[in-house]
Structure 1
Amino acid sequence: MSYKLPALPYDYTALAPYISKETLEFHHDKHHATYVNKYNEAIAETDMATKPIEEVIKAIAGDAAKAGIFNNAAQAWNHSFYWDSMKPNGGGTPTGALAKKIDADFGSFDKFVEAFKQAGATQFGSGWAWLVLDKGTLKVTKTGNADNPLTAGQVPLLTMDVWEHAYYLDYQNKRPDYIETFITKLVNWDFVAENLAAA
């Protein structure tokens, strides 16, 4: 069961001017594709080849002997999730059950935004900021490098990539500007709401 590189859920120009065509081409077609290819090469002719990628990620997390497989598996999965976390004309505020849950668990949407920005800005080096469901409660978390909340038994609802290749062509070293833009112009709240409903 090889893991297929998913097509972007929108055109390469659809997120401009916030994320450029060039960034999406490099990020999806080069970075993401490489993780997928290396993962498939690593699991070929092993018992992992028949398992869903999520199962593999959870099974080998923390196993130093399988760190290379884990890094490529988790990065392949994280990026697929990241593309769906954005949409053209995204951002704004969520509605319905998701909005109520954010208010209940964070106190307000603004407090969620503050926590999410903080997670993204303070992730030292490469990594991810997440909105997760943890034992029924919404939480903001961050992970380094390839790690993701699946390994902690949490349900990912939203992610923001803060590896430099996600934003450097468009924002250079101004990660806070990218984070602000991600929240106000790019977040796909419909995707987040679907993930919450399915959790």
Structure 2
Amino acid sequence: MNAPENPQISRRDALKIIGAGVAVASLGLTKAIAAEAATTAPALDWELPKLSYAYGALEPHIDARTMEIHHTKHHQAYIINAKNLLKDHPDLLARGPEALVRDLASVPEAIRTGIRNNAGGHVNHSFFWKIIAPDTGASTQQLPVAIAAAFGSMDEFKKQFTDAAMKRFGSGWAWLSLKDGKLVVQSTANQDSPLSDGAKPIIGLDVWEHAYYLHYQNVRADYVKAFWNVLNWTQAETNYGAALKA
């Protein structure tokens, strides 16, 4: 004879099953939300990035004092200024600096120039700290081949890049960028970024005087020449691969 059904036990077991199902569903939802957040979170936040090397690691090409001032004073000032401009625009702040630089037209006109300069300065410098390094690596993959195809030779690329750096009147940057599927050398004024022009930077050199004046004074040519000794080709290769996939 079958044992009589116990309704109390059945109800408790049912509640356990329901509870377990809800917990699993909640866990799945939490993971889904976290995954979505991870894919939509800004690639660069509004904090000063830490360097992967000491301030003196690039000597004698870039001196320690210049690196310290450049990083902790100039770069930090861009971040502070940008965040102050965005204090009444939490939606824009949440988008992150790179998104704003890519789409300056979406920034209110009253603060657009300030964001162009200061968010641009944050984005450009965050890029720059990675493209210089004491261990410059060796690019043996796609980038040297692509450079030779685009410019005829590595020497010709370096010549054009140096010209862009030297002919930038006043403050600005020299860049190797990928635009419309092609490698191009370009120069931008002040803290303008290739991102604003739909290009993807591969290599960038800061030619503001604050980047070199303590060591090189007014001789920008010596600073540009020294750049090739600290150019992180491994990072440049990474940048190029990411640009091709974007």
TM interval, short-chain normalised: over 0.9
Identify, as 1 or 2, the structure richer in helix.
Answer: 2
Equivalent residue number for residue 128 of structure 1 = 173
- State the partner residue of 2:185: 140
Deviates most, 160-169 or 68-77: 68-77
* RMSD of aligned Cα (Å): 1.7
User: Match of 1:15?
Assistant: 58
Q: Does 2:222 correspond to 1:161?
A: no
Q: Structure 2-normalised TM-score?
A: 0.76
1:49-128 residue pairs with structure 2 within 5 A?
Answer: 49-60=93-104, 65=110, 66-90=112-136, 94-128=139-173
Q: Relative contact order (C-alpha < 8 Å, sep 6+): which is higher?
A: 1
- Please identify runs of 4+ aligned residues in structure 1 that moved more than 3 A: 61-64
Q: Which runs of 5+ in 2 are unaligned?
A: 1-41
The answer for unaligned runs of 5 or more in structure 1 is: none
Structure 1, 129-138 or 40-49: larger mean CA deviation: 40-49
1:88-142 deviations in Å (ceiling 9; x for gaps): 0438x63221111011111100000000000000000000000000111111000
Distance 2:104 2:242 in 1: 25
Tell me whether 1:176 sits opposite 2:232 in the alignment. Answer: no
Measured in 2, the distance between the counterparts of 1:41 and 1:73 equals 11
Aligned to 2:84: 41
Q: What one-letter code is carried by the residue in structure 1 that aligns with 2:101?
A: I
Paired letter, 1:84: K
Task: Say if 2:70 and 2:211, in contact at 8 Å, map to a contact too.
Answer: yes
| CA apart distance, 1:63 | 7.0
- How many equivalent pairs are there? 197
State the TM-score, normalizing by the size of structure 1: 0.94
1:104/1:24 CA distance change after superposition, 3 Å = same
Sequence identity, in percent? 43
Secondary structure of 1:160 counterpart: strand
